[in-house]
Amino acid sequence: MHKSVLDILKMKKEGKKISVITSYDYTLASLCDKADIDILLVGDSAGMVMLGYENTIPVTMDQMCLFTEAVSRARKNSLLVADLPFMSYQTNIDDAIRNSGRLIKAGADAVKLEGGSVMAETISAIVDVGIPVMGHIGLQPQTTMLSQGYKVQGKTKDIAMKLIDDAKELEEAGVFSIALEMVTHEVAEIISETISVPTIGIGSGKGCDGQVLVVQDLLGMYDKLEPKFVKKYMNLSEDIVKALENYKTDIESGSFPAQENYFSMDDEELKKLREEIGR
Active centre residues (catalytic): 181
Query: Is 159 in contact with 167 (CB distance < 8 Å)?
Result: no
**All residues at 6 or more sequence positions from 13 whose CB lies less than 8 Å from its CB, including other chains:** none
- Contact assessment for residue 205 and residue 192, using Cβ atoms and an 8 Å cutoff: no
Distance CA 237, CA 219 (A): 8
Contacts of 9 (CB under 8 A, 6+ apart): 176, 177, 197, 198
CA distances from 210 to 99, 146, 214 (A): 27, 27, 14
Q: Which secondary structure element, helix H or strand E, spans residue 180, and what is its range? A: strand 177-181
Query: Exposed (0-12), middle (13-18) or buried (19+): which is 156, by Cβ within 10 Å?
Result: exposed
Give the C-alpha distances (Å, rounded to integers) separating 276 from 112, 266, 268, 272.
66, 15, 12, 6
Structure-derived torsion over alpha carbons of residues 267, 269, 274, 276, reported in degrees to the nearest 10: 160
* DSSP symbol at 176: S
Helix (H, G, I), strand (E, B), or coil: what is residue 166? helix
